[in-house]
Structure 1
Amino acid sequence: MTLLDDFLVRAALAGLGLAIAAAPLGCFVVWRRMAYFGDATAHAALLGVALSLTFSASVFGGVLAVSLIMALTVSTLSGRGFAMDTTLGVLAHSALAFGLVAASFLSGVRIDLMAYLFGDILAVMPADLAVIWGGAAFVLALIAWRWNALLTATLNPDLAVAEGYDPKREGLVLTIALAIVVAVAIKVVGALLITAMLIIPAAAARPFARTPEAMAIAATIIAAVSVLGGLNASYTLDTPTGPTIVCVVAILFALSVIAAGAIARSKDAKG
């Protein structure tokens, strides 16, 4: 018997792998106001699952391919004068609907839609861990490599051009990273809750961070605490694990808002 024989240990490792990949990327999602972009990409994941099962292909590969196609489609449409909130709404919900319909046509294949919609972290196997941590390592390496360029292009595209960076190329880097995180997260929190793990830790860290790097680190810590706290709460209360993890991170966000407000009022009182 090895350490990875314990399903709770595997679940914790899977959740932590997602946390360290999603939280830093989520900071850019928050800074760029890309929450709906994340939703469109995540909802496409279910269509990727259905196509993978239809053609007996790797679920991870299918989700990654469809998520990447969706993300590239959104990026292309964003530069052609379309109203992005409407376009993203159409694409996000259409992709989810087509995924659900495609899954219903799978004959002779048992598919647990709840597991793909809300995650099945307790069923993670060692092979899944290798995929999750491999994807997380790639995303972290990509963000670290392009950090200055991504940050400059996010804060001031004109300055990025002046410094020799191509904002469109950096947007493509984020698109690729987002597609990988979606493919990694489908097993952990499911297609409907992936965006929550991207934006809520970053939003919770934002009031207390003085630098972008500090915000990324704080968001990662919050995401990791949420994963471990959610696993413990789910085991104790016998609740769905993926949604419970998101509930914990939502509570932490609420506490951060309350704390930030109290600190601001304290400073005003002293001033």
Structure 2
Amino acid sequence: MTCRELYLLARRRLGGAGVDSPGADAAALAQRFLGLDRAGLALHGEEAPPPQREAAFLQAVEERAARRPLQYILGEWEFMGLPLAVGEGVLCPREDTAVLVEELARRLGERPRPRGLDLCAGTGAVALGLRTLLPQAEVLCLELSDRAFPYLEENLRRHGKGLAAARKGDVLSPALAGEFTPGSLDFIASNPPYIETGELPGLQPEVRQEPALALDGGADGLVFYRAIARLWAPLVKPGGLVAVEIGESQGPAVERLFQQAGLTAVETAQDWAGLDRVVSGLR
């Protein structure tokens, strides 16, 4: 088969399997496994790929048709211009998380060398995204999952430039929070698990293949926000920032938790769809 025929086959197969964006996904798989982007398909679409490339492409199409996340098939995903290693066991970086990074950078302002924590760090997207906007920032990433941790270490090695480090740890642990000096940090950032436990079975097939550890926020979705407000916010120095990504309906509840924890100037920022996405406040 020619590259064009393979691409068209993939688009039909993925569309029939219910994939939301079959054309875009087929193009991404063609670039990864056939070595041809859209321009390359236009120029070389009538050529036949080597047999091994065709076989790898067709295998990837079947995996995607089975609703394996595209990010896992590709092995990396771009976030704020950074190619991040991803795979089974780690949450896929999402465009909405850039809102958290942008709010952190905006509210941290002109601090010469802000130091802080990225809680529930996953791939390290938040920490590394922040460093693209504030290259002087120093970030320690905390992540509990044994499966996610190698991706975090790889991404920090590739992009951290020595100012982002990783540590294993449970964000819900008072003992871990107690190892840090109160009032010693400029910021706390987190994209924590925030989906209500009862909602997990109804998620898209792709999302259900991501780790429940990175999704399940407890019965009301607020378990990690309570811990951040109670255990981690006190680590921030006066005038320092606490900022978290939230689910679209959680803004009022997280605002209250932050206010009850003594944070001031609490704000909710929206994503590009106009949905509540980030709550932040000052110590």
Under a length normalisation based on structure 1, what TM-score does the superposition of the two structures give?
Answer: 0.22
Q: As a proportion of its length, which structure holds more strand? A: 2
Structure of higher CA gyration radius: 2
Under a length normalisation based on structure 2, what TM-score does the superposition of the two structures give?
Answer: 0.21
| Bigger RCO (CA 8 Å, 6+ sep) | 1
Q: As a proportion of its length, which structure holds more helix? A: 1
